[in-house]
Structure formats: structure tokens, C-alpha cells
Amino acid sequence: MVLKIFFPQCCNTADSGLLVGHWIPGHNSAVVLAVIHYPFIPGQVKKYLSELQSQTQVDLTVLGSWSMPKEGKEGMDSFLKDLSTIFPQKCWLQLSREIGKRGFICQVVQNNGKLLQDREQKNGDESSEGDKIILIHYDQRKVMLSQLHPVQDVSQKSDIEPSELRLVFQTVAQSQPLFFLDKYDDGPLKLTHWQSEGREASIIAELLKQASVPVCIFLTWLLSLWHWFCSFRILHLHPVLFISSKLSTCVQSGYRAVHFKTVFSPKKAATHMEFMRKANIFVSFLLDIALGLLLISWLYRENRISKLADTLVPVADRVAKELQELLEWLMGAPAGLKMNRALDQVLGRFFLYHIHLWSSYIHLMSPFIERILWYVGLSACLGLTFALSVLSDIVALLTFHIYCFYVYGARLYCLKIYGLSSLWRLFRGKKWNVLRQRVDSCSYDLDQLFIGTLLFTILLFLLPTTALYYLVFTLLRLVVVLFQGVIHLSVDFINSFHLFAIGLRICRPYRLAEGVKFKVLCQEPGTPLHLMMEINPLKCSSVLQCYRTPTYSCYPKDSWAALCKKLFVGELIYPWKQKTDKTD
């Protein structure tokens, strides 16, 4: 069995002392966390270790002794050997360095006094009694901060046994309180670990941490006010509810409120995934606000917003005029097809009247448009996503008449298709059995047959006219829906883009680890195998996959085949569906 010792790089040049660490259960390996130097009192060492054990839930023990040769301290070796009696262990490690050699010498003394040494086998056989030792050097700070992926919660009870490396990472990460004592502390013990040169801290980070708690409490209180306001009965009446579920601005603001609840909760994030989620939401919110402010500065700089408002009414007029021309073309002989004159005129005049109503409403509103747009443009300071949602709503309102025409055309066409199919069955002597959901034969009276055939003929010959109107308005509606879909997709993208995770991967790649890399360090005869363990950062594509923020993404509700079938039959289509619950 091979014994693996994980040794921190910071202790390579430490003075002689005791090795403190943790034996990994079940894997015949040990993680060295720190070195305690002389002079020390064994009782105090034991007391300190038991204190830390209760703090960190890590089983810290004295693993062995470490000796670093220095002039004037040659008598240490025998002293170190005697320490094994003070700290009884099943296995006592004796690591030492020699002047002039780069490798360590390692001796392991087992409980029954048997000495295991790593010596070069003179005869070249691999005998089983010569147990081998591997010394793995690791960077303590990086391993402490790193998180192995796929993420498994420590508290989660899972059936999967954590692997050896995962246990090593967990041990180092959980032993953070061990690294708080540095060389400037006047305690009874002197330790060497990655922070022993002085604790790392930054005044700004500490101030922010202190300030964040009252700020979070205040913001949570504001959010609760907002929720109380939204829970008013009057806002839950059906028309208001219906409109607010259709307006993407309301949807987006509701979504942001949920985000804030996650980010501003005063509870500290317990697990790595929670922390990443909070950080991602916060950074994406800041990015949103920054882009929104950029947009505002661009819009208001040369009074572009007034120019936009001035062009809005002429554009709406132009759209109305184009629609009018289209209808007049349909009322004539469109594409050489011959329409049924009477129906054509009726439908055409009906739609023309709608357009006339619409343009008069627009003209009524035109003096106020500039002011309204100016104030609405200011709402972009709440974020670019907000501005895009407002744009989507404005487009929806301005093209409301197209939506109405589409609904009229679709309903008419749908009615016609159903009538035709039913009368076609009558023509053939069949009937739709509602009870059995199938087509049955049926004997009709003569007058039923007569009227049915007449109606069928009328509907059939009126079909091309209706179909053409339906086709034209469906195409227009699809164009508008496509534009809105693009806006929603970009809003979704800004909402769910996890800039923090990508930034962490680029700037601090060791924090997100996919695994480890080993490198064989130079071999010297008489020393065990030395390996250097480095952190293998997560691939960028895995970062993107792992840390997506769940979002109300727009997705096509129906497949292409279902969509085409609906279009053919004349059912109303709503191709983009907002998911009502969060999904990843």
C-alpha cells in the first residue's frame, strides 16, 4: 500500500517542529496543514488542537515531526524521535531535509515499532514489504480557495463516496481557523502555514462587509414594502392582472424583484452555488444599470429623445397609410386573383374604418407623445432590460391594430374552415360523433342535404377571399412577433449572463477547479517520489453550462409542425410563451 503525504509548499523552508494535519480515512493518506515550532508545551498543543477540532469539525492531529537542518542545532533528530511517545499515533511520520539535497527524506514508524523506509531496492525486485511513500506538494492558499467541480455539498447526504482529492480539498477548506494565527501573534504556539507571514486583509473589503449588513436589511425592508404594495386587492382584479401579465415591463420588474430578494437577503451564502448565484445576479444587475445609464447618456445628449418622439407620429402615420394601400390592393384584383366583389368590399371597408380610427387616436395623442417619451426614457436608469421591455411594449401598443386585424381574419377563416369541413362531411353523408370522437355515417333528410350543399358551395367560393386576407394579416403579425421575440431574447440574455463566473474563471482560475494536474519533480536516489499538484481550471464551456442563472426564457411553445397546422386551420397563435416558473 502506498502512503501519500500532501505537503504544503509554504512549509518547505520552515524551521523544525511538529507536523499538524489530518489523516484521510480509508485512503492511507495524510494532509499536512501546518508546522508547530519549538519551543512548545505538549499540553498546550493538545489543548489548541482540540479547540480547533471543535471549531472546524476537522479531525486535527499531530502527524509527525519535521526537521530542517540548521547550524548549531544538530541534536534535534533524537529529540524529534522521542516526541512520538508524547503524541501517540498509529503512524508517526518523520520528514527531514538535508543540506545539499532538494528531496525530503521520509521515515514512517508504525505503532508496533516497525520501521518503514523508502529505500532504493538494491536487488531491483518489487517486494511487497517495501511500502512506498509519495510526497505531493500543494499550494495551500489556492487549494483552500478552490472549489472542485462537479460541486457536491458537504452537508448533503449523497450516496457517492467523496474521492480522495475531494476530501483533501474539503479538509484544507474547512481548516481556515487554523490559518488565523500568524507570526505576529503573541500566543504560546508558533505556527507556519500560508498566512504565517501575516494575515491577508483589505480595509475596503472589511468596511464593505461591515456596511453590507445594514444596507441589506434596509433593502429587504424596501422590498417588503413593494410586495405589500403589489398585494393590494385592486391590483388583483382580472383585467389588471391580465394586462400586467401581457406587458413585458411588469414581467421584467417582477422578475427583478425576485432577484433582489435573493441577493439582498441578510443571510450569508452557505454553499458555493448559492454564493455564485448571488454574485452573478448582483454583477449582472450592476452591468444592467451601467448599460442603462450609457443608453440614457446617449439618448439625452443631443436631445435625441425629442427627435425620436417627433419621428414617432409620422412613422405611425406611414404604417397606417401603407396598410390602407395594402387593403385597397386587396380590394382590387390582388396578384391577378379574382375576388368575390361583395365580401371583398365588406371586409376591406371594415378594416379601413379601423385604420381610420387608429390614426385619429394617434393624432389625438401626438401633442403628449414627446413629454411621455421623455419621462419613459428616464426609466432606462433602472436598467437596459427595463428599457428594452418598455420598447417591446411600445411596439406592441403601436401595432395593436395589426393584432386586431389578425384576430378578425383568423377567426373568420377558422369559422369558414370548420363550416366547410362539417358541410363536406354532410355532402358525403357522414357526421362527426362528439361522443365517440369519430366520423360516423348518417342519413340526412332531403331538405337538410339541399341546404347543406348550398351552404357548402357558398362557403367554398368565398374561401379564396377570406384566405387571402388571413394570409396577409398573419404575415404582418408574424413580423411583429419576430421583432418582439428578438427583444425578449436579448433581455433574457442580459438577465441570465453570468459575468461574475466568467470573470472569476479569467482572473482567478484556481477558484473554479475541474481537477488537478501532477508533475513529477526531480528524482534523487534515497528520497521518495515527489509530485507537484496544481489546480486544473474549469473549461470555459463548463463554466457557461454550470452557472447559468435560471430565467423566464422565451421559448417557442409549439414545434414547427404544430405551428404550421395551427396556421392552416386558423387557430390563434402565440408563438412565444413566457414560462411561468423558473427553469434552468
Partner 1 sequence: MAEEEFTDINGNSISLDCQTHSAFCREFTVTSPKLSLRKVMVYTCFVWLFAYAVFFFTENTAVLSSAIILTLVGMMIHIHFVKVDHETLLIIGSLGVQLSSSYASGRESTIFIEMSKLKDIVINEAVYMHSIIYYLCILIKDPADPETVASVVPLFNVRSSCCCSIAKAK
Residues that bind partner 1 (CB under 8 A): 1-2, 4, 28, 121, 126, 132, 134, 159-161, 163-165, 515-518, 520, 523, 528-529, 531, 536
**Grid coordinates standing for 26?**
480509508
Q: Report how far residue 277's alpha carbon sits from residue 270's, in angstroms, rounded to the nearest whole number.
A: 11
Running DSSP on this structure, what letter comes out for residue 337?
P
CB of 99 to partner 1, least distance (A): 24
- State how far the Cα of 578 lies from the Cα of 584, in Å rounded to an integer: 14
Smallest gap from Cβ 144 to partner 1, in A, equals 20
Reply yes or no: is the peptide bond before residue 239 cis, omega within 30 of 0. Answer: no
**Residue 497 C-beta: closest distance to partner 1, Å:** 25
For residue 38, give the amino acid letter: Y
Q: How far is the CB of 4 from partner 1 (least distance, A)?
A: 7
- Of the two residues 163 and 245, which places its CB atom closer to partner 1 in the complex? 163
Of 120 and 584, which CB lies nearer to partner 1 in the complex structure? Answer: 120
Compare residues 165 and 189 and give the one whose CB is closer to partner 1.
Answer: 165
Q: How far is the CB of 98 from partner 1 (least distance, A)?
A: 19
Neighbours of 504 (CB within 10 A): 22
For 403, the grid coordinates are: 393584432
537 prior amide bond cis, ω within 30:
no
List all residues 6 or more positions away from 178 whose beta carbon is below 8 Å from its beta carbon.
20, 33, 34, 52, 56, 60, 191, 193
Query: At its nearest, how many Å lie between partner 1 and the CB of residue 528?
Result: 8
- Grouping H, G, I as helix, E, B as strand and the rest as coil, residue 134 is strand
Shortest CB 31 distance to partner 1, Å: 14
Q: Rounded to an integer, what distance in angstroms lies between the CA atom of residue 90 and that of residue 82?
A: 15
User: Which CB, 161 or 581, lies closer to partner 1?
Assistant: 161
Which of 405, 415, 427 minimizes the C-alpha distance to 476? 405
199, 180 contact by CB (below 8 A): yes
Closer residue to partner 1, CB minimum distance, 179 or 510:
510
| Rounded least distance, CB 417 to partner 1, Å | 52
Q: How far is the CB of 520 from partner 1 (least distance, A)?
A: 5
Which residue from 87, 70, 113 is spatially nearest to 18, judged by alpha carbons?
87
Residue whose CB is less far from partner 1, 347 or 533: 533
Q: Which is nearer to partner 1, 476 or 531 (CB)?
A: 531
Please identify, using beta-carbon distances, which residue of 39 and 150 lies nearer to partner 1.
150
Residue 168's nearest CA partner among 205, 213, 190, 136 is 136
Classify residue 566 by burial, with Cβ atoms within 10 Å: 0-12, 13-18, 19+: middle
Bridge partners of 35, per DSSP, are: 19, 192
Q: Which is nearer to partner 1, 28 or 96 (CB)?
A: 28
* CB hemisphere CA count around 393 (13 angstroms): 18
| CA separation for the pair 338, 331 (Å, rounded) | 10
Cell 413593494 locates to 226
CB of 369 to partner 1, least distance (A): 44
Q: Which is nearer to partner 1, 160 or 434 (CB)?
A: 160
